[in-house]
Every structure is written in structure tokens, then in C-alpha cells.
Amino acid sequence: MRYRQAIALLALFGLFVAIYLWLHALGFGGAIKCGASGGCETVQTSPWAVFLGMPVAFYGVVGYCAVLVVALAALRPAALPQRGWNTLLAALASVGFLFTVYLTYLELFVIHAICRWCVGSAAIITLIWIVSLIALRRSE
């Protein structure tokens, strides 16, 4: 139960980071709050900031939303003893983690700019992924 709670809380934070970046990409809000390094604007205006016609942050919103909803559903008293939820959470987290690995690779080696918000999101999804794997092992 603790693992699922941790995943839900992490996903909630991740969701709001993604919502902020998404709304910013859509033109809401002023300059991105990113510190003086300027990396966020470079990343957000790079050709890789749009994936299949949508801002990358949109996929973050969808992904974190999915993890949050599944984690909360898994926390219902009736769902607690069911192990399938752990598999589902680990699968979702793995997809998110792989996408993040790809995006971080782009930031480091292609765009050559680091966006703090993206690093924040990468840290959150990595934690979710680790917790979900631990939960999966413990439930076996």
C-alpha cells in the first residue's frame, strides 16, 4: 500500500510539472521560470519540443494522469489485495521512463541544453519507475 501511495503522490507532482510546461507551450503564462541559464526556452523552442503534432509536455500530462488514476484506483480497499495493479503501474512507469530517457538523451546530446523543469520531471518518473519495480518484486 505504501508503494502505491508513494507512486500516487509522485505522479501528482509530475502531473503539475507537466501541466505547467504544457500550458506554457500553448502560450499561457509569461516567460518560463527557469533560472538564468536559459535552457528551458532553448528546449521548449527546439524541433523536439513537438512530438506527433503535440507539445511533448502534453504526453507528460497524459502519462502522469494515467499513473495517478491507476495508483488511486489501486488504493481502493477492494483493489489492495489484487497484484495485477502493480504490474499495470510498472508497465505505465516503464513507458514513461523510456520516453524520458529518450528526451534526456536529446537534451544532453542533441539540443545541448538542460531544462530544469524537464530534469524535475525526469527525476519524478525515475522514482516512480523504481518504486513500481520494487512493488512488483515485493508482490510476487
Partner 1 sequence: MNRFFVLVGILAVLLGVSVFALLRGGGTAAPAAAGPPPTVTDDGFRGYALGKGDAPVEITEYQDFECPVCASFATIQMPTITEQLINTGKVHWVLRDFPLPVHKYARFAAHAAQCAGAQGRYFEMQDQLFRRHQWAQTGKDPSDLFRSFAQAAAVVDLKAYDQCMESGRFAQRIEYSRQEGDQLQVDGTPTFYLNKTTKLFTSFRRIPTSDDFKALVDSVVAHSPKKPIARPAHH
Comparison of 114 and 140: residue with beta carbon closer to partner 1: 114
Q: How far is the CB of 50 from partner 1 (least distance, A)?
A: 6
Q: How far is the CB of 33 from partner 1 (least distance, A)?
A: 6
Q: State how far the Cα of 40 lies from the Cα of 78, in Å rounded to an integer.
A: 43
Comparison of 16 and 105: residue with beta carbon closer to partner 1: 16
DSSP code at position 46 = S
- 59 to each of 22, 44, 65, 86, 138, how far by Cα in Å? 9, 14, 10, 22, 29
Residues in region 7-66 near partner 1 by CB under 8 A: 8-9, 12-13, 15-16, 19-20, 23-34, 36, 38, 40-42, 44-47, 49-50, 53-55
Q: How far is the CB of 121 from partner 1 (least distance, A)?
A: 14
* Sign of the four-CA dihedral 110, 114, 117, 121: positive
- 24 to each of 58, 68, 109, 134, 139, how far by Cα in Å? 11, 22, 24, 34, 40
Q: How far is the CB of 22 from partner 1 (least distance, A)?
A: 10
Neighbours of 48 (CB within 10 A): 14
Q: How many residues of this chain interact with partner 1, rule: CB under 8 A?
A: 38
Contact positions toward partner 1, by CB under 8 A?
A: 5, 8-9, 12-13, 15-16, 19-20, 23-34, 36, 38, 40-42, 44-47, 49-50, 53-55, 72, 75, 77
